[in-house]
Amino acid sequence: MKIQTVEMELRKNDKFLKIAEGLKPRLIQKVIYPKDIVKVVRDKTVIHGWKVNKADSIDNLREYACGRGDKFILDFGAHEVGYLTMKIRPVGSPPDAPLRLKLIFGEMPCEVKEPFSEYNGWISSSWLQEEIINIDILPQVLSLPRRYSFRYLKAEVIDTSPKYKVSFDEIYCKTVTSADLSAVKELPSMIDKELIEIDRVSIKTLQDCMQEVFEDGPKRDRRLWIGDLRLQAIANYKTFKNYDLVKRCLYLFAGITRQDGQISSCLFIEPEVTADNTFLYDYSLLFVDCLYSYYKATGDMETLKDLWESAYRQIEIALERLDENNIERDDNEWWAFIDWHEDLNKQTPAQAVLIYCMKRALKLSEELDFKEKDFLKEKVNQVSAAAITYLWDKEKGFFVSGKTKQISWASQIWMVLAEVLTKEENEALMERLFEKQPKLKLTTPYAYHHLVDALILTGKKDFAIEQIKAYWGEMIKDGADTFWELYNPEDKNYSPYGSNLINSYCHAWSCTPTYFIRNYFMQENCILKSNLVK
């Protein structure tokens, strides 16, 4: 896959960036201590082939005297994001050489067992969480300046000298997040117990990704991505209700764009806010939906009026990609995301994202009587009609994409969400999708979110619950205490980057089961006991 990058000058809106800076959150801190000393052993029956067994009580850690080659692994009991402190003292003769210490942080057991030296993925190995530290003076309180995302910590003494060893009197992590857990309401006790656990892990995932912005993942990439923000925001509205953090992110995206006004797929926040030079068609468009859901959740008219022009500009730019038949021009570049799948053709799902976002913009423009409403109404009808004329295969009963007329799950799901067909036709399409099982399936929680959303839209709530349990519930069974960036039940070692060591195991776009549970499954008669869903 070839990644499309663009050299460009950026356009800044100082007013928007100033508003965003004023919304910068105060981080909540908490000190967390490890729970156990553990061993990680080979077990082919578990994901990645590594199993964690308790080796010793954490109370005995200070009794360990570690010299050259000695190592231990700590389990903090849950995924944490923060800063590590270690209190280290010498044992034996006065230290006559520096302590050289290696620390490896792992979200999953494979990261503290498989050697990083064998990593051969295409994403930079500098994302692997490893530190080699030389300490000249002992005793020492070592506080690492870099923030880490981990559950497991492996400490290895590379060397001291023959005359002394070291002991670790105290090890702890000072966690950071902008999410206030006390704001989250507990689910009713009568709700399905498996959904309660999925909800809990969803919230923890979101919590660890909420920092000074909504990060995509606290391990990697630590950036503000529109695709992740859109899903984090709707989960946040049902849990932490941190509306200002969403507002901050919206103003950041609108505050620094390409010269033509296109919003970048992601932003770097430090040392100063700047836009990445990767532009994804669907991500830029989804800024419209981010603004739409924010306005619906808050009624914040001032922000809507401020950012409407930026949102509408994404539609104008997207429309430039249509051909004379109002169909997306397809190519082999990485021009849209949709899902991590090398073989997925993006033409049809991208067309659906355009329609979906245009309809969101139309609703806002009609509600607030913006001047663009008449054009949007006419154009959305034209683009929708084109999708049925050129992309709908009546004989096969599916939307097709690209020159090969590819039939994928993503194309059908996004066209359902765009509501191009009638309600009855959409229901039949979703039923046919599960009956025929097209080979080009979904690979990420991001894509599975849209599957669940499409099932709910077509009135299949019970089936949506089954999918949540079968996907996110299975992830928990495989050891997730926060939900992952990637999970393919048919290939649990899957990584688009060439190695599961670099995958993010706490990732923003996977947090939305809590949104579905709290928005749809607690209303009317949808509080479910476990025996009601099979």
Q: What confidence tens digit (pLDDT) does each residue in 283-299 have?
A: 999 999 999 999 999 99
Quick check: 398 pLDDT over 80?
A: yes
- Lowest average pLDDT, out of 7-16, 160-169, 254-263, goes to 7-16
Looking at residue 189, its pLDDT comes to: 85
Q: What confidence tens digit (pLDDT) does each residue in 164-181 have?
A: 999 999 999 999 999 999
Contacts of 215 (CB under 8 A, 6+ apart): 209, 221, 222, 223, 224, 228, 508
Residue in 330, 352, 231, 337 with CA at minimum distance from that of residue 280:
337
Quick check: 203 pLDDT over 70?
A: yes
Looking at residue 524, its pLDDT comes to: 45
Q: In Å, what is the CA distance from 308 to each residue of 76, 299, 305?
A: 45, 14, 5
Quick check: 6 pLDDT over 90?
A: no
Q: What is the architecture of the domain spanning 28-177?
A: Sandwich (2.60)
Give percent of the chain with pLDDT exceeding 90.
93
Looking at residue 62, its pLDDT comes to: 95
Looking at residue 531, its pLDDT comes to: 36
Compute the average pLDDT of residues 416-424: 98
Q: What confidence tens digit (pLDDT) does each residue in 37-78 have?
A: 999 999 999 999 999 999 999 999 999 999 999 999 999 999
How far is Cα 196 from Cα 187, in angstroms, rounded to an integer?
Answer: 7
Compute the average pLDDT of residues 190-208: 96
The three-state (H, E, C) secondary structure of 159-174, written as one string: ECECCEEEEEEEEEEE
* Residue 2's pLDDT band (cuts 50, 70, 90): very low
Q: Tell me the two tokens of residue 341.
A: 């799948």
Q: Rounded to an integer, what is the distance from CA 358 to the centroid of its chain?
A: 24
Radius of gyration of the CA atoms of the chain, in A: 25
Q: Report the mean per-residue pLDDT for the chain.
A: 95
Compute the average pLDDT of residues 488-497: 92
Quick check: 533 pLDDT over 60?
A: no
Q: Are strands 224-225 and 266-268 parallel, antiparallel or unpaired?
A: antiparallel
Looking at residue 530, its pLDDT comes to: 38
How far is Cα 151 from Cα 226, in angstroms, rounded to an integer?
Answer: 27
Compute the average pLDDT of residues 79-103: 98
Query: Using an 8 Å Cβ cutoff, are 61 and 168 in contact?
Result: yes
Quick check: 131 pLDDT over 50?
A: yes
Q: Tell me the two tokens of residue 212.
A: 């000074």
How far is Cα 51 from Cα 39, in angstroms, rounded to an integer?
Answer: 8
Q: Where are the domains of the chain?
A: 28-177, 321-440, 442-534
* Residue 529's pLDDT band (cuts 50, 70, 90): very low
Contacts of 177 (CB under 8 A, 6+ apart): 27, 28, 81, 207, 208, 210, 211
Looking at residue 523, its pLDDT comes to: 62
Q: What confidence tens digit (pLDDT) does each residue in 311-368 have?
A: 999 999 999 999 999 999 998 888 999 999 999 999 999 999 999 999 999 999 998 8
* Residue 7's pLDDT band (cuts 50, 70, 90): low
Compute the average pLDDT of residues 88-116: 97
Compute the average pLDDT of residues 505-533: 76
Helix axes 301-319, 281-298, angle to 10 degrees: 160
How far is Cα 519 from Cα 212, in angstroms, rounded to an integer?
Answer: 26
Q: What confidence tens digit (pLDDT) does each residue in 67-87 have?
A: 999 999 999 999 999 999 999
Contacts of 138 (CB under 8 A, 6+ apart): 88, 89, 90, 95, 99, 166
